[in-house]
Structure formats: C-alpha cells, structure tokens
Amino acid sequence: MVSKQLVKEGKDITNYAVEKVTDIHDKGYLAYYFSKDNATFNQDFKNGMVKIATEFALNCGIPREQLTSVITINPDGTACIDNTNTKVIPFIPTTVFDCLFEDYRYALEEGYPSHTLKLFSTKYDNGTAVLYCYIDLFSTFQYYVVLNEDYRGEEVSKMYAQRLIPRTKEKPDLTQCNSSDLDIVIREYDIDMSQCTATSYEGQLDYVKDCLRKYPLQTYDLQKALNRASDKINMLVTAYFSRLLPFAGKGTSQIFAKAAGFDTIPPSVEAILETFTEKVGVSDIMLLSQAFSASVEGQYYRKFGFEVIDGDVMNYSQPDESMKVFKRSRAAAQEYTNAKFSHLSCLCYNPELIEQ
C-alpha cells in the first residue's frame, strides 16, 4: 500500500491525496467482447441457453419425454441434452409499445436488470402445440428455446424472475417506527399480514421484524413491475397524443410525461411514435394501449403480440413474429441487440442510475 510506504518513510500522509488508478480508470463506456478469440462462441452460447431452458422445464415438472427438441433418451434409459436440431429464436419487439419498453427498460422496469424465465405452450389453429422457454438474462439477452415442436402435454405457463441488485442496501430500522411507518414497510416489502395472529401494535411490529429477517433482497414481483411499466408507457403515449387534442391544456403533455417519470417526452420516444402514427390511426391508440396492458399479464407476457385490424385487436405468436422479423431484417435485429447490451453496459458503469 502506498500509504503504508509513505508512513514508513516518515512522511505525513495528511499532506498527500491518494487516488486509486486502474487500467480502466476514467474510460467511460465499457463493453466486453464475448466472442473474442473464441471460434465456437455461437455454439457455446446456444449450449448455455438450451441448458437453462431444459433444466427449467424439468424443474417445472415437464417429463423428459416431452422435451424432444432438447433431450435424447438412450436405449438404456439414460438421457442427455442434445441441441443439434434445437431452434433458438431471438426476441425482437414487434409493437410500438414493446419498442418503448425495451428502449427505456432501464428507466421503466423496477428491478432492472433482472433475470426472467417463462415456460409456456402455444396451440395453433392446425391443432399442433409447441413448447417454448423464453429466457431473458440481465433484461438484455432475450431468446426463445423451442423445447418441443409437437407438444402433447397439458397447457403450461410458468414463470420465474429475479432482480440482480438488492432493492435496498439495508433493511429498515424499526426501532423508532410508528404505525404509519409500519404500514409503509408492510406495503414496500409485500408482507402478508394475514398470517399475523397478533392484535397489538407491538405484536404486529415483532411479526414484521421477523418477516424482514427472512426477507430475500432479490425477491422480485415481476408482474407488479410489468404493470407499473405498462402504466408509464401508456402515460408517455398519452403525453404524445394529448398535443393533438384541441381541448388539451398547454401543459397537459408534460403532466403525463412526469407521471411516467420523465421531465418531457424523450426525443427517441417522439421519433418512434411519429413513425408509428404514419401506419396506425389515432382512433386505434386506445385499443392498442389496452392490448399492451393485457399483453404484460403473466399468461400472455412474451407469448403473444398484437395488432389492430379493422378495429379489432388480433393476437399473434410472439416467437413466430420475432423469427419473421429476424429473417426479414437481420441488420435491424442486430442493431436492437447491440442497443440492449449498450444500455446494460452504460448503467453497470454508473450503478447509481439503477438503484431503485
């Protein structure tokens, strides 16, 4: 240590300022070149995604016989993961609402960055069903793994989510807590008071303290986070379109923007919505807004996309549509994935921006 060396030399260290400098000091933007010097990176990445999806499906109780696209069962009864013919599909946002969510996910998603796994089956009009696992790592790396293209099991929809940054550095000190403070803590930490048998305030306080001692800081209510993000996005859309209404006040747009957590409508949001309105009539906005709010519900999230046709909301398979976009424009898909990684990299370099 430099400080110890200075003291050893008889120097007064109060006259010195010691600064730690590393080989990445003050570099600003940081990135990691995952595939550098790794000729098999793409296969390694696929192996990892398939392993995660397969183990999650098994953990959810799916028999290995129903995981035909990822597991080979040998004549002796042993089995192994085999992704030789496994399809891995990148998720690509296909609605303007999903584009807004993904572009500003770091600001809209409480708990960003997070991990999400969703196992679900989709039945098609021809009677066949496909079993998928949607993987979303660090709110950034988003892929569908096809587990079975001719799924014969029961309909399934199971999801797991985990936030990566603890929601708070320290659990609250309840030493000087009053009843109002206690109510706030109960709501903030989603403590189930129905299990509390105490009738006195002191007894309820002890129950809450005990719950906090057991509380995992990585607990993540994804559904609540998605619903709140959906509300904020709908506020941004309302802020944009309120300026088109003749009866709206001058500051109406800013009011809605602030409700979404922004001082004003971000320029990129303006650009996205401006392009969007060239294709979709203003009269359809309300329908699309309602459809988006429904699409983030657990049973639909990342399973269905939506569009308005002749005044009706029509759903489509999100994995299938993502694949169509990927085949139609790989450059756009690559730009999207690069942007997602850029968001994560920038925010991890400035962790104070993601402490929520």
Domain contains 250: yes
User: Rounded to 5 degrees, what angle do the CA atoms 336, 341, 343 make?
Assistant: 95
Q: Looking at the structure, do residues 203 and 279 belong to the same domain, yes or no?
A: no
Query: What percentage of the chain has pLDDT greater than the value 70?
Result: 86
Verify that 45 and 129 share a domain, yes or no.
yes
pLDDT at 22 over 60: no
Residue 147 is part of which domain span? Answer: 41-163
| 20 domain residue, yes or no | no
Q: Omega before 216 cis (within 30°)? A: no
Inform me whether the pLDDT recorded for 267 exceeds 50: yes
* Claim to verify: residue 60 and residue 145 sit in the same structural domain: yes
Task: Tell whether 51 and 156 lie within a shared domain.
Answer: yes
| Structural domain includes residue 13 | no
Both 112 and 144 in one domain: the answer is yes
CA-CA-CA-CA torsion for 238, 241, 243, 249, nearest 10 degrees?
Answer: -40
Same domain, 242 and 203: no
Do 56 and 151 share a structural domain?
yes
Claim to verify: residue 276 and residue 208 sit in the same structural domain: no
- Reply yes or no on whether the pLDDT at 92 is more than 90: yes
Residue 188 has pLDDT above 90, yes or no: no
Same domain, 59 and 110: yes
- Tell me how far apart the alpha carbons of residues 172 and 168 are, in angstroms, rounded to a whole number: 9
Nearest to 67 by CA among 131, 121, 3: 131
Q: Residue 265: pLDDT above 70?
A: yes
Number of domains in the chain: 3
Q: Do 86 and 119 belong together in one domain? A: yes
In a domain, 174, yes or no: no
pLDDT band per the 50, 70, 90 thresholds, residue 356: very low
pTM comes to: 0.76
> Which residue, chain included where needed, has tokens 């303290």?
209
Mean pLDDT, the chain, whole residue set: 84
Lowest-pLDDT range of 22-31, 125-134, 155-164? 22-31
> Quick check: is 85 in a domain?
yes
pLDDT interval class at 249 (50, 70, 90):
low
Q: Is the pLDDT of residue 353 over 60?
A: no
Assigned domain for 27 exists: no
Closest to 107 (Cα-Cα) out of 210, 255, 261: 261
In this structure, what are the phi and psi dihedrals at residue 134, rounded to the nearest 5 degrees? -90, 130
Asked whether residue 131 falls in the same domain as residue 244, the answer is no
pLDDT of residue 344: 82
Is residue 169 a part of any domain in this protein?
A: no
In a domain, 114, yes or no: yes
**If you average pLDDT over residues 273-302, what whole number do you get?**
82
pLDDT digits (tens, 9 = 90+) for 307-345: 888 778 889 999 999 999 999 988 988 889 888 888 887
124 and 189 in a common domain:
no
